[in-house]
A and B are shown apart, each in its own frame.
Chain A
Amino acid sequence: MKEFISRLMNTEFLPMSEVRKIKVTLVMALLLIITSLTIPFSFFLDYTFRMKLAVLISLAVIYGIIVVMIHFNRIYASIQVSIMYAIAVTIFYTVGTTSFYAYLFIYISLTILIFYQELFSYLVYGLALLGYGIYYTITHVDQLAPTEVMPGALYVYIAVLVVFYLIFLLQIIYNEKLYTDLNYDWVRLNHIIEHYQETILTYDDRDRREEHEPLIYENLSFQKATDEISVFIAEQYQKHGSDIVHVLDLFTYIHERGLDNILENEEISTAMKKVAHRLDKYLLNRRTDMYSIVLNFYSEFVDTEDYRENRYTYKLNDLFASQVERLIGLTMLYQYLVNEPTRKDRWEQIGRVIDEETLDAFFSSDKMHEFLTSEQRRFYQENKTLFEKFLIHNGDGEERL
């Protein structure tokens, strides 16, 4: 419970899949309250005893099924079933009593849909609920809205329900668009950072070779450290903590044989193959998630300049004051890109420059918006021959043939 509250309070640090799980758990907690309250309230509802018993047993069974689904990480399915569960409870109450609180269930179910923030579910189930809510209001208008108190109350009920639905529909659509845009930026930046990391690791590997050092996963002191740390942690929770060494042996073995060979090997058990597959993202023979996390963490300890307002600006126009400086900047950028090696060659070393065609295509694409204005891109287009005639050389002083 403590742990759950802690995770709930820190949802801004958790990925979507984790948050989805928290959401469905929270909805289940509230549905448990509602279901528990339904037992005493069912005495007042206008059903036969058999009917009440059947509904209550069904609710309990479906509740149990959702809990099992959550346990086995079937989050999407459990979301759908929990929505249907809430709608079923709404129908049970609205048919069983004419009291005002039954009407509240329409809003409660809508709020569950809003909670999940899934556009498709909100459209399908939400519209169904909205339709049911309008129908219920029309058929129960005498109990819900005595006309002598408030003229046209029926229309007020319906209008408020419709506007409530529409405001949240607007919010969900807005969020959907916003998160799609933010996600696009996030994935793009992720790719770019991964490319930086690949280059950094290439430099690292070159230095390692020059100094005749072993590969990190073959380094005995590193193996000893990982073995002992793993065993120590595992022993705090498991009787046979030392069994974890087998996972580490497999980790080293994947480096030697390659994941594909292990997966194709019929002598290796399916369970072992599963573990091997999961370890793949932590391998140390290329840029993997492990290296990305290590380098991201290490970034804190990199020497960096003090914060300035334009820290994340890469557009010449926003960085330099005059047109002269911007054009000088552009010529220097072009020279660096077309003359300095920034990509891998056939020996997997940073030894190849970007070819003119690729660079030209990139300079002409919309992706350059991040660096140049439309005017600067036009300047490049109109003076492309000058760029190519004067600025392509070997950066080391030799003219390029």
Chain B
Amino acid sequence: MPAKKSYAFAEAKDYRDFLEIKHLRTKNHLVLVALASYMLFSGLYLLLAGYPGMWILKLMIGFFVVLGMNIASLAYGKESPQFYEINKHITTLGVFSISVAMIFMFQAPASIPLLFLAYAICAVYQDIKVLLVSNLYMIFTLTMIIIGFPEYLHLIDGSLESVLGMVFFFIVFVLMLTGSSFIIAKQKRFFYNQIALQNELEFRHLDLLMQTGKKYVNEHRVLNLEMYYEKANEMLAVFAKSIDIENPFEEKLALLKDLEKAESFQDAKEKHPDLTEKEWNRLQDLLIGKNTKLRKIALKIAHTVDVDVKKREIFSETYYKTLQHQNDSFETKVVAFAIFYALLRKGSNVIRPLSDEEIHDFLVNTDFYYLVDRRVMKVYEHDHDVFEAIIEEAYGEGGNA
């Protein structure tokens, strides 16, 4: 069994976590609504069924504690997302404890499905740790009831069939719930990861685009910065005049123009002694002549202008790029990997040839692993020195074309 792979691009982790927390907040709202409804219906039933006031009071206190924790976590979660994390576990334990308390209060089979209700509420989090806690709590409670309090299920005089039926089908039910929640939680991770991965890929493609385009800008076209700053200054001066304010842009434009030419902070400091390093770093993003953020924005806009997503394209897996499409034959998957590997080893004018070590490390240890057919990967992992030998023979010593 291949070891668990790590996500490619460590930089994407923060964005993945950001997506997780952003949606966890919405899920917390859903749980809050479910909890409040649970409390309302329980209170109403206890009142109508004429249960003692003390019982109702104790149960309501339990509900209020869990609800209070949820509301507090939602408020403090804005400051520190850890509150959301803690809240998930407190709510899970709280909801299950309330359901178990009710089972002991009612001592009847009708109260057993309250455990399923608790499970349903906690499943909203779509979290594997919550799933584990829920499972343990549910299995422990059901085992305890079947062994210690069979009268709750009316099993005392029950047949062997009833007891075995309860045990077996409870196990099947818990297995089903576990499998379901596990895959749903994983699927959610898949989406978050794909979005985070695309963001990082976009950032790196913009870098690559600027690096490859640089040659073009130098050899075929000169970015006339003098003109850029002169025109911007003229336009903004007219704008400042039109709204009757002193031109606040001129000085900043002059500074930026100098920064375009400066090779280092020290260079810039000589001409602008008041310039701080922090300001220097910040203003680098505003320079259009260098490979900086502003240039990235310009390139992103230029490549976004024509992008129009049609509704039918959503959920289309055509965009999921892999070397092991389900409908492809084994031969096609082999050929696809061979082309992929040979291309990376050969390189081109815009991508440098990669070594086998570089390819092997990144391919085998990250989620790129799953883009290749497992049988093909098995051969590559086991015999990648043969691949190296083939490439050396084809491309020459060192594998460079």
Q: Do A and B come from one complex?
A: yes
- Answer whether residue A66 sits at the interface, using C-beta atoms and an 8 A cutoff: no
Give the distance in Å from the alpha carbon of A114 to the alpha carbon of B124 in the complex.
Answer: 12
Contact B195 A393 (CB under 8 A): no
- Answer whether residue B79 sits at the interface, using C-beta atoms and an 8 A cutoff: no
Q: Which residues of B contact A364 (CB under 8 A)?
A: none
- Answer whether residue A77 sits at the interface, using C-beta atoms and an 8 A cutoff: no
Give the distance in Å from the alpha carbon of A105 to the alpha carbon of B176 in the complex.
Answer: 11
Contact A13 B321 (CB under 8 A): no
Q: Which residues of B contact A136 (CB under 8 A)?
A: none
Chain A residues touching B, range: 35 or more
Q: Contact flags (1/0) for A1-40 with B, using CB distance below 8 Å?
A: 0110110111111111111001100100010011001000
The DSSP consensus for interface residues of chain A is helix
- Answer whether residue A149 sits at the interface, using C-beta atoms and an 8 A cutoff: yes
Q: Which of B153, B328, B342, B393 has the most CB of A within 10 A?
A: B342
Contact A14 B370 (CB under 8 A): yes
Q: Which residue of A lies closest to B376 (CB)?
A: A233
Interface residue stretch chosen among B44-52, B69-77, B132-140? B44-52
Give the distance in Å from the alpha carbon of A251 to the alpha carbon of B331 in the complex.
Answer: 12
Q: Contact flags (1/0) for A362-383 with B, using CB distance below 8 Å?
A: 1000010011000000000001
- Answer whether residue B371 sits at the interface, using C-beta atoms and an 8 A cutoff: yes
Q: Which residues of A contact B352 (CB under 8 A)?
A: 301
- Answer whether residue B84 sits at the interface, using C-beta atoms and an 8 A cutoff: no
Q: Which residue of B lies closest to A387 (CB)?
A: B235
A112 CB to nearest chain B CB (Å): 7
- Answer whether residue A359 sits at the interface, using C-beta atoms and an 8 A cutoff: yes
Q: Which residues of A contact B195 (CB under 8 A)?
A: 182, 185-186, 189
Give the distance in Å from the alpha carbon of A207 to the alpha carbon of B183 in the complex.
Answer: 47
B244 CB to nearest chain A CB (Å): 15
Q: Which residues of A contact B1 (CB under 8 A)?
A: 2-3, 5-6
Give the distance in Å from the alpha carbon of A99 to the alpha carbon of B162 in the complex.
Answer: 6
List CB contacts (< 8 Å) of B144-190 with chain A.
153-154, 158-159, 161-162, 164-166, 168-170, 172-173, 175-177, 179-180, 183-184, 186-190
Q: Which residues of B contact A303 (CB under 8 A)?
A: 207, 211
**One of B9, B231, B340 near A290 (C-beta < 8 A):** B340
Give the distance in Å from the alpha carbon of A364 to the alpha carbon of B238 in the complex.
Answer: 22
Chain B residues touching A, range: 35 or more
Contact B153 A100 (CB under 8 A): yes
Q: Which residues of A contact B153 (CB under 8 A)?
A: 100
Q: Which residues of A contact B200 (CB under 8 A)?
A: 299, 312
Contact B301 A229 (CB under 8 A): no
Q: Which residues of A contact B334 (CB under 8 A)?
A: 230, 233-234, 244
List CB contacts (< 8 Å) of B1-22 with chain A.
1-2, 4-5, 8-11, 14-15
- Answer whether residue B86 sits at the interface, using C-beta atoms and an 8 A cutoff: no
- Answer whether residue B61 sits at the interface, using C-beta atoms and an 8 A cutoff: no
Contact A297 B339 (CB under 8 A): no
B166 CB to nearest chain A CB (Å): 5
Contact B183 A22 (CB under 8 A): yes
- Answer whether residue A195 sits at the interface, using C-beta atoms and an 8 A cutoff: yes
Give the distance in Å from the alpha carbon of A295 to the alpha carbon of B329 in the complex.
Answer: 24
Q: Which residues of B contact A124 (CB under 8 A)?
A: none
Q: How many A-B residue pairs have CB under 8 A?
A: 519
Contact A117 B315 (CB under 8 A): no
Contact B11 A200 (CB under 8 A): no
B101 CB to nearest chain A CB (Å): 15
Q: Which residues of B contact A179 (CB under 8 A)?
A: 191, 315
Contact B390 A18 (CB under 8 A): no
List CB contacts (< 8 Å) of A321-360 with chain B.
321, 324-325, 327-329, 331-333, 335-337, 340-343, 350, 354, 358-359
**One of A12, A227, A328 near B236 (C-beta < 8 A):** A328
A142 CB to nearest chain B CB (Å): 11
Contact B298 A167 (CB under 8 A): no
Q: Which residues of A contact B209 (CB under 8 A)?
A: 196, 199-200
B225 CB to nearest chain A CB (Å): 10
Give the distance in Å from the alpha carbon of A219 to the alpha carbon of B120 in the complex.
Answer: 60
- Answer whether residue B97 sits at the interface, using C-beta atoms and an 8 A cutoff: no
- Answer whether residue A175 sits at the interface, using C-beta atoms and an 8 A cutoff: yes
A144 and B249 contact, Cβ closer than 8 Å, known pairs A108-B169, A187-B314, A234-B331: no
- Answer whether residue A204 sits at the interface, using C-beta atoms and an 8 A cutoff: yes
Contact B221 A396 (CB under 8 A): yes
B228 CB to nearest chain A CB (Å): 5
B115 CB to nearest chain A CB (Å): 10
Contact B207 A304 (CB under 8 A): yes
Give the distance in Å from the alpha carbon of A41 to the alpha carbon of B284 in the complex.
Answer: 75
**One of A230, A302, A333 near B301 (C-beta < 8 A):** A333
- Answer whether residue A150 sits at the interface, using C-beta atoms and an 8 A cutoff: yes
- Answer whether residue B263 sits at the interface, using C-beta atoms and an 8 A cutoff: no
A329 and B294 contact, Cβ closer than 8 Å, known pairs A294-B340, A343-B302, A390-B235: yes
Contact B208 A302 (CB under 8 A): yes
Give the distance in Å from the alpha carbon of A149 to the alpha carbon of B199 in the complex.
Answer: 59
Give the distance in Å from the alpha carbon of A193 to the alpha carbon of B303 in the complex.
Answer: 8
A-B pairs, 9 with minimum CB distance: A101-B165, A207-B349, A390-B235, A153-B110, A342-B302, A12-B189, A150-B108, A115-B180, A299-B204
29 A-B residue pairs with Cβ-Cβ distance under 8 Å, sorted by A, are: A18-B326, A37-B172, A41-B165, A101-B162, A101-B169, A108-B173, A111-B176, A114-B180, A156-B45, A163-B117, A185-B195, A203-B350, A207-B215, A207-B350, A221-B346, A221-B401, A224-B393, A225-B345, A230-B334, A233-B376, A234-B330, A293-B371, A297-B362, A299-B204, A300-B9, A302-B207, A302-B208, A328-B236, A333-B297
